[in-house]
Amino acid sequence: MTVDDDPGVSRSVARDLRRRYGHSYRIVRADTAVAGMESVRELRLRGDDVAAILADYRMPQMNGVEFLEQAMDLYPYARRVLLTAYADTDAAIQAINVVDLDHYMLKPWDPPEEKFYPVLDALLEAWHRAERRESDELRVVGARWSARSYKIRDFLSRNQVPYRWVLADDPEGAQLLAAAGEECEISPAKLPLVITSDGTTLTAPTTAELAGAVGLSTAPATDFYDLIVIGGGPGGLGAAVYGASEGLRTVMVEQHASGGQAGQSSRIENYLGFPDGVSGSQLADRARRQALKFGAELLTARTVTSLEVKGQARVVGFADGSSIAAHTVILATGVSYRRLAAPGLDDFVGRGTYYGAAVTEAPECRDREVYIVGAANSAGQGAVYLSGYASKVHLIVRSDGLEKSMSHYLIEQISNISNIEVHTETEVVGAEGDDHLERLTLKGPDGERTVGAEWLFVFIGAEPLTDWLGDTIERDAKGFVLTGPDLTSAESRPRNWPLRREPYHLETNVPGVFAAGDVRADSIKRVASAVGEGAMAVALVHRYLEKA
């Protein structure tokens, strides 16, 4: 669908669309925003689907951003493009956060073969992938303050599986529970209920059960590979893309969802090649698709519990007792947010307290006050994102300012958003509530005070996910993996590992096992550097295989 009040531009857009896509799509054109919304409603009532909506920014009755915002309510998965003049570029960039704009396009776009069709090709391809999952039929019935319900929703969202969320105490939720054979009385132990597209019901499923039900790959295709990548963050995805593209039989194993900690970022604005910013989930989805394109195998909801050396093989064990092996392994398990040590807070994890962006909760925070703990970029990105929903965002910072830990561009953004308030030299020292978080105790320069709070998002430091490695891989005192020059003396290595040349910069104390990204000691904690290390580790894998 294309909407533009300029008849000449409107005809031009429709002409270009029909020339390229007329054989596969019906092109709907509207000359006013009001007529466009009438067409959108009519299409919805008829049960038609809309792949993409292109709206001009300057229209008299409502501008393009307002039009796309209303259209989103009826077609949330349609790709959204704003047509704009150069003078309106700033408004287009602001619209990215308002309507999750997929692209904005400057007029004119001649020639369309270079400036128009490539953009639409990519957006339509992404739409087709989403629609194949029959997003309107997967339903999750749960309780508002259920930690398990939140975990299920977070897993689906981070794995790009669309779903519909229904509260158990709503009429529709009660009907679904009754139809599924559940008792009329709502029992937290029975929730959430997941209903798949074919009518299969899963009661409080594990992540592995849920992954299998929605079509995510959980079982390896074979038992031996050239390369096993453990962890699906930027470093792991980078390694999977480069490993598979260079002909290595590659499998990537991820416990939760592709993207890792970066995948939870609401918007990354300093990543090379994305001048308008990109959400962590979008970046992760693109990388995941790229890895699959080159033939990498991606396993989800698999927990790695061990790494052993057996001759030339490196054997990776899983929690269910199974294992796979490979010539080489890249450790890219990343890090997790540290827990906030405040009395009572652990009782409300998933029930008002969330570690990371938890974008699934953002709509629930509309017109409410939220609290964020942290002073690094992830906390700043979360504050900016949630400010679009919450009436007020309180950023709790233990130090005396943001300058030491947050990028300058984020500090400037925060200072220009009126509903974000930064509380320096302040920390959370207590939490209270009944079935969910209701109050926080804050300690600041003026002493302690208690505030009403139902949402708390925590972004404080990071801990490496390496406990499962045991004594196999050398780590520093904080648990980060040591590589290259950072390794201890050769005498500390087990006797059955031969001494040889100085290990490569990303190689661990075990030959053929490398580390990339945040899990590596002294690494630069940036998305770009993690991707670069993943690619570099693959190059070192090739060298190792040549000499092995």
Q: Which two tokens stand for residue 62?
A: 């409502």
| pLDDT computed for residue 43 by the predictor | 80
Spatial separation of the C-alpha atoms in residues 263 and 366, rounded to whole Å: 23
Determine the pLDDT at residue 200: 82
pLDDT in tens, 262-316: 777 777 888 888 887 788 888 888 899 999 999 999 999 999 999 999 999 999 9
Predicted local distance difference test score (pLDDT) of residue 135? 44
Whether this prediction's pTM lies above 0.85 is answered by: no
How high is the pLDDT of residue 160?
A: 84
Q: pLDDT tens, position by position, for the chain (548 residues)?
A: 999 998 888 999 999 999 999 999 999 999 999 999 888 888 875 667 899 999 998 888 888 888 988 888 778 889 999 888 876 777 667 666 666 788 888 887 888 898 899 999 999 988 887 754 444 568 899 998 889 999 999 999 888 888 889 898 888 788 778 777 644 444 556 789 998 877 788 998 999 999 999 989 999 999 999 999 999 999 999 999 999 999 999 999 999 988 887 777 777 888 888 887 788 888 888 899 999 999 999 999 999 999 999 999 999 999 999 999 999 999 999 988 889 989 999 999 999 999 987 778 888 899 999 999 999 998 999 999 999 999 999 999 999 999 999 999 999 999 999 999 999 999 999 999 998 999 999 999 999 999 999 999 999 977 898 999 999 999 999 999 999 877 754 444 544 444 444 456 899 999 999 999 999 998 888 889 999 999 999 999 999 999 87
Rounded to an integer, what distance in angstroms lies between the CA atom of residue 167 and that of residue 152? 14
Contacts of 330 (CB under 8 A, 6+ apart): 227, 228, 229, 230, 235, 236, 239, 243, 513, 514, 515, 516, 534, 537, 538, 541
Q: State how far the Cα of 205 lies from the Cα of 191, in Å rounded to an integer.
A: 9
Q: Cα 164 from chain centroid?
A: 18
Give the tens place of pLDDT for each residue, 220-252.
999 999 999 999 999 999 999 999 999 999 999
At 132 the pLDDT is 45
Q: What is the pLDDT of residue 407?
A: 92
Return the pLDDT at 497. Answer: 46
- What is the per-residue pLDDT for 491? 44
Half-sphere exposure of 247 (CA within 13 A, CB side): 2
CB atoms within 10 A of CB 130: 15
Cα 60 to Cα 33, 314, 545: the distances in Å are 8, 65, 64
Strands of 52-56's sheet in order across: 29-30, 2-3, 52-56, 79-84, 103-106
Taking CA atoms, 318 is separated from 18, 322, 516, in Å, by 51, 5, 21
- Distant-in-sequence, close-in-space partners of 446: CB < 8 Å, separation ≥ 6: none
